[in-house]
Structure 1
Amino acid sequence: MRSPDPRISLVIPVLNEARNLEVVLPSLPEVHQVILVDGRSVDDSVEVAKRCLPDIEVVTQTRGGKGNALACGFARVTGDVVVMFDADGSAAPEEIPLFAKTLVAGADFAKGSRFTSGGGSDDITRLRKAGNALLNGFTNLLLRTRFTDLCYGYNAFWSDIIPAFGLPPTELGRESGRQWGDGFEVETLINCRIALAGMKIREVPSFERDRMFGTSNLDTFRDGIRMLRVILREYGRSWRAGRRERERALPGPDTVVES
């Protein structure tokens, strides 16, 4: 039974974001749990986080990449609702209650969108916007979804659906190498899998702010190709699963078919 007053856990991946954390963390609303997942920062990100929020839970991710960071954070969640929150200042903390309200109203997954009515962005370039539109349209065509902003990472969901994401095990250490789903493709991977699982997705208008300090680790072309591969792989996986279901439904040699 899902709570009408859910406990909220924030999962914040961090890699050298000390200057941003000084501004972002004090602006957060009071929530049940804040988990900072550190990618072995070489600045004082962890020290700044502990100073700003003494109760913050700090986790060191087991491999590299945003996907692995999120998976490590999800493994530590104790709340009813999980919010994926970026540390660079682009996500508006005041939108968190709207995400939670959308879930309480019946959604399994609250999908932030910069391109639905009420949303917007100060940060997205024309190239990224065009790439997002292409990937978005391709996904909607193949998976019969109605996403308006496939690649946006500000999302929230009930913690009980985490197993449906099927993310790579966090127990595999750095020596195992990067796994599929460890990088920026993770958001596309999650969106595809929850859609194919038939979960209730509701878009939430969201405004993306400019990154405050530093530069993004996102590579438009490289990560765009990885996202395209995610879409094709998930479509293929779904098609093969559907074929197996159809084959199981066919009458076997010992099956009597009523006429």
Structure 2
Amino acid sequence: MLNNIVSVVIPAFNEEKTVGRVIEETIQVMESLGLPYEIIVVDDGSWDRTREEASKYKVTVLSNGRNRGKGYALRKGFQHASGDIIVTIDADGSHKPKEIPDLLNTLMEGADVVAGSRFLGKNKNHTSKLHVFGNYLINLTIMALTGKAITDSQTGLRALKRDFLQKISLESEGYEIETEITMKGLKNGFVFKEIPISCDRRKNGISRLCILHHGPKILKTILKHALTTK
């Protein structure tokens, strides 16, 4: 049974239309679990009302003076998190907070990192064909270099033990943070699990993950950490 604080870290950039709903649903889920928890929203230099919307709730809101990237925002959230368990969820509303308990249960069964895979779930129409193909190539590269199968290296819905984060040194600034977490989990002997999640297409705003722009950075991250540990 979980008795420790669960820290939920939500990185956000220009998500004024969805961040409030994500916070509300996360609060409802955590309250229903009866666990001590905290929610940390990291506003990554938004120029809309993301910070103001997040500040309407009893959560910790951290702000970057300018847009630094998802990796920077997550690392900042991790630094401020007090929980022994840390959950990450995106602010765009594509993930479902109601699936957080499944992540936590799998973590308590002995995993160090639990990733919610969009490609193990029933809904396969949650992203563009280009993103699906890009993710497939990334996953294939990871499998070739680590010998371990992975279906969704870029998922933003995860649960991690603090011990895991303390034993690795994250350095990514952008979207490649997801790949760095995956690679360091697989390469350093940690127990890495994937579970199926459902995922909705973004209804508001625009996705800032461009496989053509970010793909090379992600592949570089894979190669770098395939040759090193920690």
Which of 145, 162, 167 in structure 2 is aligned with 1:142? 145
1:221 to 2:224 alignment: no
Provide the C-alpha distance between the structure 2 equivalents of 1:113 and 1:18, rounded to a whole number of angstroms: 26
Which of 75, 89, 93 in structure 2 is aligned with 1:89? 93
- Residue 247 (structure 1) aligns with: none
Give matches, 1:194-209, under 5 Å: 194-209=185-200
Write out per-residue CA displacement over residues 18-70 of structure 1, whole angstroms, 9 at most, x where no aligned residue. 1112322221223610000011211111111121x1x2101123760000000
Letter paired with 1:30: M
1:30 to 2:44 alignment: no
Displacement after TM superposition at 1:119 (Å): 4.7
Contact 1:77 1:159 in 2 (8 A): no
Runs of 4+ in 1 over 3 A off after TM superposition: 3-6, 118-122
Displacement after TM superposition at 1:122 (Å): 3.7
Which of 2, 5, 13 in structure 1 is aligned with 2:3? 5
- Residue 126 (structure 2) aligns with: 123
1:167 to 2:170 alignment: yes
- Residue 68 (structure 1) aligns with: 72
- Residue 16 (structure 1) aligns with: 14
- Tell me the TM-score normalised to structure 2 length: 0.90
Identical positions, percent: 32
Provide the C-alpha distance between the structure 2 equivalents of 1:4 and 1:93, rounded to a whole number of angstroms: 18
- Tell me the TM-score normalised to structure 1 length: 0.81
Cα RMSD (Å): 1.8
Contact 1:85 1:154 in 2 (8 A): yes
- Residue 45 (structure 2) aligns with: 40
- Residue 59 (structure 2) aligns with: 56
Provide the C-alpha distance between the structure 1 equivalents of 2:167 and 2:228, rounded to a whole number of angstroms: 14
- Residue 108 (structure 1) aligns with: 112
Contact 1:164 1:194 in 2 (8 A): no
The 3-state SS of whatever aligns with 1:95 is: helix
Provide the C-alpha distance between the structure 1 equivalents of 2:145 and 2:63, rounded to a whole number of angstroms: 36
Structure-2 change in CA distance of 1:165 and 1:153 (3 Å): farther
Q: How many positions carry a matched residue from both structures? A: 222
- Residue 251 (structure 1) aligns with: none
Letter paired with 2:30: E
The 3-state SS of whatever aligns with 1:156 is: strand
Structure-2 change in CA distance of 1:146 and 1:165 (3 Å): same
Name structure 2 gaps, 5 residues minimum: 32-36
Contact 1:164 1:193 in 2 (8 A): no
The 3-state SS of whatever aligns with 1:150 is: coil
- Residue 190 (structure 1) aligns with: 181
The 3-state SS of whatever aligns with 1:18 is: coil
The 3-state SS of whatever aligns with 2:227 is: helix
